[in-house]
Amino acid sequence: MIADAHESESRAQAALLSAYIASATFWLIVTTAVGVLLSFKFPFPDLATSPYLSFGRLRPIHTNGTFYGFASVALCGLSIYIAARSSGTGIFAKPVAWLSLALMNVAAIAGTVTLDLGMNDGSQEYREWLWWVRLIFLIGVGCSAVVTAGTVARRAERPIYIANWYTLGGFTFVTVLWIVALIPSYQVGVGQVSLQAFYMHNAVGMWFTFVALGAAYYSLPKLLNRPIYSYSLGVLAFWTNAVFYPVIGAHHYEFSPLPWWLQTLAIVFSVGMLIPVFAGTANLLLTTRGGWDIVRRSYALPFFAAGIAYYFLGSSQGTFEALRTAQAYWHFTSFTVGHSHATMYGFITFIIWGAVYALLPLATGRQPSLLLTGVHFWFALVGVTLYVLVLSIGGTLQGIEWASGNPFINSVEAAAPFWLARAVAGTMMFIAHLVFAYNVYVMTVPQRRAAAAKAQPA
Partner 1 sequence: MSRPMDRLWVLLTASFVVYACLALLTGVIPAMILSNTKPTPGLSPLDAQAARGREIYVAEGCSYCHTQQVRPLAQDLVFGRPSTAGDYAYATPQLLGTERTGPDLSNIGSRQPSAVWNYIHLYEPRAVVSESVMPAYPWLFVVKDRAAPGDVTVPVPPGYAPAHGVVVATPDALALVAYLRSLKQPSLGRTK
For residue 101, the minimal CB distance to partner 1 (Å) is: 22
User: Is 186 or 292 the residue whose CB approaches partner 1 more closely?
Assistant: 186
For residue 226, the minimal CB distance to partner 1 (Å) is: 22
Give the Cα separation of 370 and 298 in Å (integer).
9
Q: Which of residues 123, 286, 289, 296 is near partner 1 by CB under 8 A?
A: 123
CB 61 within 8 A of CB 112: yes
Give the Cα separation of 191 and 155 in Å (integer).
44
Burial of 278 (0-12, 13-18, 19+ CB in 10 A): middle
CB 257 within 8 A of CB 327: no
SS3 187: coil
154-183 residues in contact with partner 1 (CB under 8 A) are 158-160, 165, 168-169, 172-173, 176-177, 180
SS3 283: helix
Count, residues near partner 1 per rule CB under 8 A: 84
Q: Is 338 in the site for partner 1 (CB under 8 A)?
A: no
422-451 residues in contact with partner 1 (CB under 8 A) are none
What residue type is assigned to position 142 of the chain? G
User: Is 240 or 444 the residue whose CB approaches partner 1 more closely?
Assistant: 240
Q: Is 149 in the site for partner 1 (CB under 8 A)?
A: yes
26-45 residues in contact with partner 1 (CB under 8 A) are 41-43, 45
> Which DSSP symbol is given to 65?
I
Q: Is 325 in the site for partner 1 (CB under 8 A)?
A: no
For residue 26, the minimal CB distance to partner 1 (Å) is: 24
> Which DSSP symbol is given to 128?
-
Q: Is 330 in the site for partner 1 (CB under 8 A)?
A: no
CB 295 within 8 A of CB 301: yes
User: Is 105 or 112 the residue whose CB approaches partner 1 more closely?
Assistant: 112
Give the Cα separation of 280 and 274 in Å (integer).
10
> Which DSSP symbol is given to 299?
S
Give the Cα separation of 9 and 306 in Å (integer).
33
| Residue 80 vs residues 18, 147, 153, 175, 211: alpha-carbon distances, Å | 12, 7, 12, 16, 11
User: Is 5 or 183 the residue whose CB approaches partner 1 more closely?
Assistant: 183
Q: Is 59 in the site for partner 1 (CB under 8 A)?
A: yes
What residue type is assigned to position 147 of the chain? V
User: Is 43 or 291 the residue whose CB approaches partner 1 more closely?
Assistant: 43
CA torsion, ordered 157, 163, 168, 174, to nearest 10 deg: 180
224-283 residues in contact with partner 1 (CB under 8 A) are 239, 242-243, 246-247, 249, 252-253, 255-259, 262, 265
For residue 300, the minimal CB distance to partner 1 (Å) is: 28
Q: Is 286 in the site for partner 1 (CB under 8 A)?
A: no
Give the Cα separation of 145 and 151 in Å (integer).
10
205-224 residues in contact with partner 1 (CB under 8 A) are 206
Q: Is 199 in the site for partner 1 (CB under 8 A)?
A: yes
For residue 70, the minimal CB distance to partner 1 (Å) is: 20
369-388 residues in contact with partner 1 (CB under 8 A) are none
